[in-house]
Amino acid sequence: MKFIAATALFVFAVAATDAPPCLMSAVTQVIDELGLSFDAYALCTNDQFIDQLTVAVHVGCPESDFPLAVEAAKEFCLAVGVDISSKIH
């Protein structure tokens, strides 16, 4: 239940940035694979999460959506005070 509520909050936050749907799928996949809980600041400061998210977005998003997904992830992390510009590309 906690994960569902956290995921819903993330979906809302990502929707506000006009992120492509493939970003949400990638985030959910990486959170599950790494066994993480949803905490925006903790995720944005976790290098392993960012590295695996980059790969998941490359694999799961159409090439045309990749820049939008990256920008949305950057905006999401900036909203919690974390700049991931140099980490996700």
AA letter at 20: P
pTM of the model: 0.79
Please determine, for residue 75, whether its predicted confidence score (pLDDT) is greater than 50: yes
Can you read off the two tokens belonging to residue 85? 């510009």
Tell me which amino acid residue 44 is. Answer: C
pLDDT beyond 90 at 83: yes
pLDDT average, residue stretch 11-40:
83
Flag whether pLDDT at 46 surpasses 90: yes
Tokens 């949803």 belong to residue:
38
Indicate left, alpha or beta for 22 from its phi (over 0: left) and psi (-120 to 50: alpha). Answer: alpha
Mean pLDDT along residues 78-82: 95
On whether the CB atoms of residues 35 and 52 are closer than 8 A, the answer is: no
Q: What integer best gives the mean pLDDT of the chain?
A: 85
Spatial CB neighbours of 74, under 8 Å, sequence gap ≥ 6: 83, 84, 85, 88
DSSP state of 72: H
